[in-house]
Structure 1
């Protein structure tokens, strides 16, 4: 069992600028990133036995984290052309 945190900045380092921009401007993106961070923190606490949980709960949390990560990635890749203009 891995107890390595999966922070968004580490998961998507190439999208750091886009993430910052979208978090500031898109309420939905900000909310799903916050949800991701919350469930990720819960998983990390369970994996390190700070707040252990059963296997079913762990699986549910991991599925939720993956679904949020997929949604975040989708929003980042759709926003990519607009974010490139930020660097201009």
Structure 2
């Protein structure tokens, strides 16, 4: 099994503990993380041609992943400041 790039612990190593803690206590945050992971997995499978997808589909998934990442990042920063 290959390593899927852009996993959240790799993207936010400085927030690894906060990421795990928020997933346990904040259901909405956990849902965002799940959505990010799902989009990230779909992108990885498309980019490695395991599940081929047209360029437009990949671009839309990348936009979705980026929006989720931005939301997750903002929540992680707020939690770390609290």
Q: What TM-score comes out, normalization by structure 2 length?
A: 0.93
1:35 aligns to 2:22 (yes or no): no
| Superposed displacement of residue 81, structure 1 | 2.5
Equivalence for 2:67: 67
Q: Following the alignment from structure 1 to structure 2, what is the Cα–Cα distance between the partners of residues 10 and 35?
A: 17
Q: CA deviation at 1:69?
A: 0.2
Task: Quote the Cα distance in structure 2 between the aligned partners of 1:43 and 1:20.
Answer: 23
Residue of structure 2 equivalent to 1:16:
16
Q: Which runs of 5+ in 2 are unaligned?
A: none
Give the RMSD, CA atoms, in angstroms: 1.3
Moved over 4 A (4+): none
Answer with 1 or 2: which has the greater Rg: 1
**Separation in 1, partners of 2:81, 2:47:** 37
Q: Deviations over 1:2-43 (max 9, x none)?
A: xx6110000000000100110000000000000000000000
C-alpha distance in structure 2 between counterparts of 1:76 and 1:5, whole Å = 20
**TM-score normalised over the length of structure 1:** 0.87
